[in-house]
Structure 1
Amino acid sequence: MNLNQVTIPSLNVEKSVAFYKNLGLNLIVFTHSKYARFACPQGDATFSIHEVEILPKGPGVTVYFEEASLDEYVKKLQKKGLVFNQLPTDMPWLWREAHINDPDGNRIILYFAGKNRKDPPWKLK
């Protein structure tokens, strides 16, 4: 099995499209203002946005995008005007993470985990 795509809700798809293009995703489908799909710059996964009338309640969606040059990438995005909730920080689970919210409040985590992504020291045997 392979992950095809993740779809998140948005009150304003066009506004979200601008955000995710700025984040570095490649827009591949945008036929109307209710749905858009992106290809990640690396790998085969896609990411899509669909319009909703009401956002889900509770903590919402969290999406992780891995970037090997995390610190430099965050600086590049800051120069474009993106504002982060957390700048790159080493986490106890051996990942380095930066946090930002998209226009709908979905939590986006840019991170680098290296070998610890799939092979942390506490991995099940």
Structure 2
Amino acid sequence: MDLNQVTIYSSRTVETVEFFEKLGLRRIVDSLPRYARLECPDGDSTLSVNEFPGHEPINNIVLYFECHDLDGEVERLKALGLLFDEDPADRPWLWRQAYLTDPNGNRICLYHAGTNRKNPPWRIGA
């Protein structure tokens, strides 16, 4: 099984698509303001934004995007005007993470984990 896409329902589709384009995702389907689909610059995963008027964010998800140069990417995004809730910091689980929020209130984590992404020292069967 492979994860194909994640869909965000939004009453602010245009702003949401522009936010994720700043993160580096590329628009591959454009039916705004109703729908758009973006692909990640690496891998095969996609993100879609679907219009849902009056939608109130639930704030119970976090989207994780891995960056090879986390600190450089955070600086690039700050130069584009994006505000971060938390600057890059090393975490006890061996990931370096930074957090920001999309226009719908969803939490976004940019991180670098290297081999610890799927193979931390405490992985079952390691």
Report sequence identity in percent: 48
In structure 2, runs of 5+ residues without a counterpart are: none
Distance 1:31 1:100 in 2: 26
Aligned to 1:62: 62
Partner of 1:92: 92
TM-score where L is the length of structure 1? 0.94
Unaligned runs of 5+ in 1: none
Quote the Cα distance in structure 1 between the aligned partners of 2:51 and 2:91.
33
Report Cα offsets for 1:49-81 as digits up to 9, x if no partner: 112232253x33210000010000100110111
- The DSSP-based 3-state class of the residue aligned with 1:85 is strand
Counterpart of 1:72? 72
Instruction: Map residues 102-117 of structure 1 onto 2, 5 A cutoff.
Output: 102-117=102-117
Q: Runs of 4 or more off by more than 3 Å in structure 1? A: none
In 2, are the aligned partners of 1:8 and 1:61 still within 8 Å (CA)?
no
Bigger shift: residues 78-87 or 5-14: 5-14
Q: Which amino acid aligns with 1:11?
A: S
2:47 aligned partner:
47
Question: In 1, Cα distance between the equivalents of 2:5 and 2:56?
Answer: 19
Query: Do 1:7 and 1:47's aligned partners in 2 also have CA atoms closer than 8 Å?
Result: yes
| Matching residue's letter, 1:110 | L
The equivalent residue for 1:30 is 30
Aligned partners of 1:73 and 1:24: how far apart in 2? 10
Q: How much has 1:35 moved relative to structure 2?
A: 1.2
SS at 2:84 equivalent: coil
Contact 2:23 2:77 in 1 (8 A): yes
The one-letter code sitting in structure 1 at the alignment partner of 2:95 is W
SS for the counterpart of 1:14 is: helix
Cα distance, 1:43–1:6 mapped onto 2, change above 3 Å:
same
Counterpart of 2:21?
Answer: 21
Q: Give the 3-state SS of the residue equivalent to 1:116 in structure 2.
A: helix
Q: What do you get for the CA RMSD once the two structures are aligned?
A: 1.1
